[in-house]
Structure 1
Amino acid sequence: MQIKVYYPKSLDVFFVFDFFFRFWFFKFAIAVAINVGAFFIPEGPFTTVWFYVGMAGAFCFILIQLVLLIDFAHSWNESWVEKMEEGNSRCWYAALLSATALNYLLSLVAVVLFYVYYTHPEGCSENKAFISVNMLLCIGASVMSILPKIQESQPRSGLLQSSVITIYTMYLTWSAMTNEPERKCNPSLLRIIGYNTTTIPSQGQVVQWWDAQGIVGLILFLLCVLYSSIRTSSNSQVNKLTLTNDESTLIEDGVPRSDGSLDDADDGHRAVDNERDGVTYSYSFFHFMLFLASLYIMMTLTNWYSPDSSYETMISKWPSVWVKISSSWIGIVLYVWTLVAPLVLTNRDFD
């Protein structure tokens, strides 16, 4: 329901605005037709092509999750440091230290479990490399976050952010290894906790398509969507990625603004940007984000498996492994960039 919607004066913006809020019958009809038509797609190269399209879209959405995670880590640390400086410093310092230690402890436990269950003395060299490389990268990022130069340019950077990035990197490492085609190096959760330990599934045998990493992936997706909704409603770093205007929607009376930028509202406030002349957000970007999110959900629900030539079993593929492990590396690079950017781009404000 749209109440008192002001349509933009600009003709091109008007058509986008009008299509976005109207023609619901045709939109639902198209959505139903697409869902019904999907069942009549003949067997052929479409499934393989769509599998790689899904991987590409899910990879992009994982990068978006990484941006949100980095924003969350910095916001969390900034909030607790401010409370530590304003109130009971010992209490908040203990909370900050406990959260950091817990994240690193969980990451260390994860590394040990990875070496125990996802590697073998002979073979599983890829898993050994993934675990070792990501562990070293996380250690390097953590050390970098407390260097004097970094602390001088960003006084509130610290180990809490690094611990959040570390534990998420360990999750991506685990998620990548659960998609490895070699079943000896990719035990199911039931085998790890003590069930079905006598036999190892053969390469062509039907594998479990719904595992713990799929459940964790969906939980992280819901948390990221919730966090994005909360953060984009306020002035945050995520807001700067999606909006061209970082001003709040409602401002108090008496705050000077340019003529024509404000309209009276019934509640005694004035509204900024009534969207008559244009909008500060992009409908196309919004729908593109939903498209990437749907591809991520598709790949998560199918556990990143691809149908084989007989369409009777679901098998893991190496591209899925590399998509996830490369996203973990990109996440660390993005975090390191947030640390060194103030040193490199000295003419920009990163507050």
Structure 2
Amino acid sequence: MGIVCSSAQLACLCGSAACSFCCSQCPSCRNSTSTRIMYALLLLLGTIAACITLAPGLQNALKKVPFCTSDDNYVPTTFKFDCDSAVGYLAVYRICFILTLFFFLMSMMMIRVRNSKDPRAPIQNGFWAIKYMLIIGGIIGAFFIPEGSFGPTWMYFGMIGGFLFIIIQLILIVDFAHSWADAWVANYEETESKGWYAALLGATFLNYALAITGVVLLYVYFTLPNDCALNKFFISLNLILCVIASAVSILPSVQEYQPRSGLLQSSVVTLYVVYLTWSGVSNSPDHECNPGLLGITTSNSTTTTNTASFDKESVIGLIIWMCCVLYSSLRTASKSSRITMTDNVLAKDNGAVKNPADQNLVDNEVEGRNGDAESGNESKVWDNEEDAVSYNWSFFHFMFALATLYVMMTLTNWYKPNSDINSLNSNSASMWVKIISSWMCLSLYVWSMVAPAILSNRDFS
């Protein structure tokens, strides 16, 4: 429903007639939901534009952009700059620079907004045509930024921001695992249906089967009998840690404080950790131990490493990233958010309702403002934040700024501009970020299970 409402808001960019037509066709939804989806759509469109710049057919055309053609006029002769090989990556840097700047400025502007009566609320929830024009104009202007030290300097911002978003992404995935298990176990306990029991067992078995298959493939393709000791260490350690995390989830002491904790959550986390392990070893600079996906699927393991490309690891990483962004935009905080620390990431139910006359209001429920209804029209997107915002507007934009930096580093394989062209698609920085992320994910998940038992004086319900 929120996506349909956001489509209607997007139609407002084309004029009042298109806006009126689309709004008349869509169901009503909360303004907080519609706004978050609109920003997610904006981020998604920016990501698509960044992906397009990595298309092989555009590389020759991109070499004519100002920061390539004007390089000799602005950059000292001692500065290394290979526009032939890395022009796609440098274009991604500039697109993501503008998107990050936009979300960061929005984050600064929305600090301490308490409700939609604040004068800054219209900036948050409207002016979409102006926002899109500013971003498009900024991207065009960014291509005139001379390379100089822009790429290497912005890369450090990308590394820090990308790593911070990975932490948020881990929290969202752990929250998703807990929420999924809570919902299905609750359905089974309420209905005692064998169908829900079979679904729980089937989903758990499928996740573990995929994880075990992934581990076997990692050993087969990313290790050698007498070599690749580092890859063997990563794969073996993560496998052991996943087994320990799965065992912890069914301990009696954990079950006492979290009766719905079980192997379904562990299977989701295990599968994600196996993905992170694969993503890490596939970015190893040791080409003897890293055949790449092309080397696995074909008999020729030689891949081109001196041109910017959009590899399969990036595709999977962006799919997971997009799911996390949509999850954070659509999801309302549940009981599991007390344990997984997603209170500031997900929206809270502030009790606002659209038509209080049709519902039995309790003391903490408030009426949402309905501008369309006041003018005699049926409301479509209604204000549910008149008394209190349902999510932290400033932190939301800050998270999206970090998400943009994560996209930039994912698309560019954590490449350092103007470094060795042989490290365009594989480097040790990317490998260690992914591996450390897998350890952080397991640590966070184990803590979310044992925290209620250790901090028994706190209320996690």
What band does the TM-score fall into relative to the shorter chain? 0.7 to 0.9
Task: Report the CA distance shift for 1:207/1:121 in structure 2 as closer, same or farther (over 3 A).
Answer: farther
Tell me, yes or no, if structure 1 residue 325 matches structure 2 residue 435. yes
Residue aligning to 2:173: 69
Q: Which range is displaced more, 77-86 or 136-145?
A: 77-86
Residue aligning to 1:342: 452
**Residues 177-198 of structure 1: per-residue CA shift (max 9 Å, x gap):** 121111112112121112424x
Alignment of 1:190-269 (within 5 A): 190-197=294-301, 199=302, 205-206=305-306, 209-232=309-332, 237=337, 240-242=343-345, 246-250=349-353, 253-257=359-363, 262=367, 266=373
Alignment of 1:124-139 (within 5 A): 124-139=228-243
Matched letter for residue 257 of structure 1: D
Tell me, yes or no, if structure 1 residue 112 matches structure 2 residue 216. yes
**Residues 235-278 of structure 1: per-residue CA shift (max 9 Å, x gap):** 7627633468543332664434279x54676589xx996426x6
CA contact (8 A) 2:344 2:392 kept: no
CA distance in 2, matches of 1:105, 1:258: 46
Tell me, yes or no, if structure 1 residue 275 matches structure 2 residue 386. yes
Deviation at 1:135, TM superposition (A): 0.7
CA distance in 1, matches of 2:407, 2:174: 21
Tell me, yes or no, if structure 1 residue 40 matches structure 2 residue 144. yes
Matched letter for residue 158 of structure 1: G
Deviation at 1:211, TM superposition (A): 2.0
Deviation at 1:279, TM superposition (A): 3.4
SS at match of 2:231: helix
Q: Percent identity?
A: 47
Unaligned 5+ segments in structure 2 are 1-8, 13-22, 24-30, 32-111
**Residues 116-174 of structure 1: per-residue CA shift (max 9 Å, x gap):** 11112333222111111111111110011111111111111111110100000000111
Deviation at 1:112, TM superposition (A): 1.2
Task: Report the CA distance shift for 1:75/1:209 in structure 2 as closer, same or farther (over 3 A).
Answer: same
CA distance in 2, matches of 1:12, 1:262: 13
* CA RMSD across the alignment: 3.4
Task: Report the CA distance shift for 1:12/1:229 in structure 2 as closer, same or farther (over 3 A).
Answer: closer
Aligned with residue 256 of structure 2, among 152, 171, 181: 152
CA distance in 1, matches of 2:115, 2:307: 54
Task: Report the CA distance shift for 1:115/1:242 in structure 2 as closer, same or farther (over 3 A).
Answer: closer
Tell me, yes or no, if structure 1 residue 314 matches structure 2 residue 414. no
TM-score (normalizing by structure 2): 0.65
Deviation at 1:103, TM superposition (A): 1.2
Aligned with residue 165 of structure 1, among 269, 282, 289: 269
Deviation at 1:336, TM superposition (A): 0.5
CA distance in 2, matches of 1:66, 1:9: 27
Unaligned 5+ segments in structure 1 are none
CA contact (8 A) 2:162 2:402 kept: yes
Matched letter for residue 329 of structure 1: W
TM-score (normalizing by structure 1): 0.83
Matched letter for residue 75 of structure 1: S
CA contact (8 A) 1:59 1:324 kept: no
Deviation at 1:311, TM superposition (A): 6.3
SS at match of 1:40: coil
Task: Report the CA distance shift for 1:165/1:262 in structure 2 as closer, same or farther (over 3 A).
Answer: same
CA distance in 1, matches of 2:237, 2:176: 25
Task: Report the CA distance shift for 1:262/1:170 in structure 2 as closer, same or farther (over 3 A).
Answer: same
Residue aligning to 1:295: 405
Tell me, yes or no, if structure 1 residue 84 matches structure 2 residue 195. no
Matched letter for residue 48 of structure 1: P
